[in-house]
Amino acid sequence: MSKIKFQNPQGMHDILPEDQPYYEAVFEAAKKVFEFYHFKKIDTPILEPADLFYRGVGQGTDIVEKEMYTFKTKGGKDILTLRPEGTAPIMRAYLQHGMQSMPQPIKVWYCGPFFRHERPQAGRYREFHQFGGEILGERDAVADAELISINYAILQELKLGDLVMKINSIGDDACRPEYRKTLNKFLKSKKTGLCRDCQKRFKTNPLRILDCKNEKCREILADAPQSVDFLCEDCHAHFKEVLEYLEELKIPYILDSGLVRGLDYYSKTVFEIESTDLEQKNQGSLSGGGRYDNLAKILGNNNAVPACGTAGGIERIIALMKAREYKFKPFTPSQVFLAQISPLAKKRSLAIMEDLRRANIKVAESFSKDSLKAQLGLASKLGIDNVLIIGQKEAIQGTVMMRNMETGKQSEVKQEEIIKEIKQRLKEN
């Protein structure tokens, strides 16, 4: 025998049965809210052409530069990537299937795994799960607001309160260049006072400096030029409208001029929701999103498709659910336990199981254990009061023994009357 022990790949995890209820709860919450808002579910392949992300997400971004799982297929012709995010694939599907010619906007939602080759840490994994929604073909600010509202509703559905929403507008092609220029000038003049990280960021990604947590930097940046002050008329009006909707919805928000999303395709509205819990804050935002009016063009479409989207990090949300001790709906245990003794009874018991299933009665069993003792032990461990016992004698007579575990009382019941009798007993409890 080999001594090798297989382990999971770094940053990728088994979702064990005990954690499944959390994933289900998040999925159900997302499904419920999205469907209420008339979003249709969509699934795109886990693999996409690498170019989709190179072009869509942006060559300069970290996701594309360092974090993608990209490989050649066997023929060597295709270069594929494990999807690192959901928006570009959905825009691809939208364009590919001619959804422009359907009534606009197209509203879709999704839920599934995504992959980024990063060093794992709290709230950050190489395989992680997101749910998200996209509204394609709609430039109106109401779409932005709707997505934010949906995001909020999903988190509230999961009983997660104490959230902060940060929102910002990063402008569009018309106004962003001007802002960048001014910001660069400002940063250059203050460069010496900034922390070492920011010095580095100045070259690599100056917008990120605005997000620095260093207190000294924050002081300096307090009077940095803000993107909102540079918005062109169109962007300004759009952003104002989004905020008006949020006020109408009574969703609390913070204008955060430091909020800059890392992907190239964003324009105008960007937002993030995070927990106010300090520990959870370190795990990054729970969900985020924004508008990406340029993505379609970046992907080679002749016309721009105004669109916006949002995505939630399921692992991060679950971490918060656990921290807040999320209460699940009480689990309904099996209503009866079926015990068998003797080979003949064992054969009969599978058929009885089927009768029970058709009658929609949840039943537990342990057919592989032959000792009645062990079977009753299990029934009691599972907390099931009603046990059906079928042995050689009963199998021949066409009856079963019905035992109440609490009182210890037993009675014989004809096999045809099992369903009726069980329903009767369940009603009594």
Partner RNA sequence: GUGGCUAUGGUGUAAUGGCAGCACAAGAGUUUGUGGAGCUCUUUGUACGGGUUCGAAUCCCGUUAGUCACCCCA
Q: Exactly one of 33, 391, 415, 418 binds RNA (CB under 7 A); which one? A: 391
Considering beta carbons, is residue 49 or 284 the nearer one to RNA?
A: 284
- Under the binding rule (CB under 7 A), the answer on residue 201 touching RNA is yes
- Token pair of 251, please? 């969703």
Part of the chain binding RNA (CB under 7 A), chosen from 61-69, 91-99, 105-113, 249-257: 61-69
- Token pair of 400, please? 């079963």
Q: Which of residues 292-311 bind RNA (CB under 7 A)?
A: 311
- Site residue total, RNA (CB under 7 A): 72
Considering beta carbons, is residue 263 or 305 the nearer one to RNA?
A: 263
Considering beta carbons, is residue 5 or 327 the nearer one to RNA?
A: 5
Shortest Cβ 301–RNA spacing (Å):
22
Q: Which of residues 359-378 bind RNA (CB under 7 A)?
A: 369, 371-374, 376-377
- Under the binding rule (CB under 7 A), the answer on residue 9 touching RNA is yes
Helix (H, G, I), strand (E, B) or coil at 58: coil
Q: Exactly one of 19, 112, 120, 297 binds RNA (CB under 7 A); which one? A: 120
Q: Please list, in sequence order, all residues whose beta carbon lies within 8 angstroms of the beta carbon of residue 18, skipping any fewer than 6 positions away.
A: none
Q: Which of residues 136-195 bind RNA (CB under 7 A)?
A: none
- Phi and psi dihedrals of 94, rounded to 5? -60, -45
Q: Exactly one of 1, 3, 302, 329 binds RNA (CB under 7 A); which one? A: 3
Considering beta carbons, is residue 327 or 373 the nearer one to RNA?
A: 373
- Under the binding rule (CB under 7 A), the answer on residue 218 touching RNA is no
Question: What is the distance between the alpha carbons of residues 146 and 37, in angstroms, rounded to a whole number?
Answer: 9
Q: Exactly one of 7, 96, 189, 332 binds RNA (CB under 7 A); which one? A: 7
Shortest Cβ 34–RNA spacing (Å):
17
Q: Which residues of 21-58 are buried (b: 16+ CB within 10 A; e: fewer)?
A: ebbebbeebbbebbeeeebeebebeebbbbebbbbbbb
Question: What is the distance between the alpha carbons of residues 357 and 366, in angstroms, rounded to a whole number?
Answer: 16
- Under the binding rule (CB under 7 A), the answer on residue 60 touching RNA is no
- Please confirm whether the linkage preceding 105 is cis (ω < 30° from 0): yes
Considering beta carbons, is residue 38 or 381 the nearer one to RNA?
A: 381
Q: Which of residues 249-288 bind RNA (CB under 7 A)?
A: 260-263, 272, 282, 284-288
Q: C-alpha dihedral over 241, 247, 252, 256, to 10 degrees?
A: 30
Question: x-or-dash pattern for RNA, window 315-344, by CB under 7 A?
Answer: xx------------------------xx--
Q: Which of residues 124-143 bind RNA (CB under 7 A)?
A: 124-125, 128, 130
Q: Please list, in sequence order, all residues whose beta carbon lies within 8 angstroms of the beta carbon of residue 329, skipping any fewer than 6 positions away.
A: none
Considering beta carbons, is residue 66 or 362 the nearer one to RNA?
A: 66
- Token pair of 388, please? 């059906």
Question: What is the distance between the alpha carbons of residues 87 and 307, in angstroms, rounded to a whole number?
Answer: 10
DSSP-derived secondary structure for 235-262: HHHHHHHHHHHHHHHT---EE-TT---S
Shortest Cβ 225–RNA spacing (Å):
19
Part of the chain binding RNA (CB under 7 A), chosen from 36-44, 117-125, 177-185, 356-364: 117-125
Considering beta carbons, is residue 278 or 303 the nearer one to RNA?
A: 278
Helix (H, G, I), strand (E, B) or coil at 149: helix
Considering beta carbons, is residue 5 or 329 the nearer one to RNA?
A: 5
Please report, in angstroms and rounded to a whole number, the separation of the first and last CA atoms in the chain.
54
Question: What is the distance between the alpha carbons of residues 171 and 180, in angstroms, rounded to a whole number?
Answer: 11
